[in-house]
Amino acid sequence: MTVHPRITKAVVTGPFQVALDFTDGSRGIVDLAPLIGGRGGVFQVLQDQAYFATVAVDPEAGTLVWPNGVDLDPDMLYEAAHESPVGGPRS
């Protein structure tokens, strides 16, 4: 498995969408709706937009985390961000 650069900054930009900055200077927007929409368990609370907006970056793991302990695979987030039209090096 390829290890990608890690997340340095996350900003919620819309319902279930997060703009991400990475350690390699690239950035992208990820739509997390397909991942968390309709799921139960620890993901259930993320369906509330106010709770979703409490997302933070874990500085050690370099990935997204929420107060209830949910974290997401940083490699999956990097790949998803670079499929978006804003992915790529910062200018």
How many angstroms separate the Cα of 54 from the Cα of each of 11, 26, 45, 69, 91?
10, 23, 11, 12, 28
pLDDT at 91 over 70: no
Q: What is the pTM of this model?
A: 0.84
Tokens 């998803």 sit on residue = 80
Identify the CATH class of 7-81: alpha beta
| pLDDT per position as a tens digit, 31-70 | 999 988 777 888 899 999 999 999 999 999 999 999 999 9
- pLDDT score recorded for residue 87: 45
- pLDDT score recorded for residue 52: 95
Helices (DSSP H) in 1-91: which residue ranges?
Answer: 33-36, 49-52, 74-81
For residue 78 the two structure tokens come to 């990097």
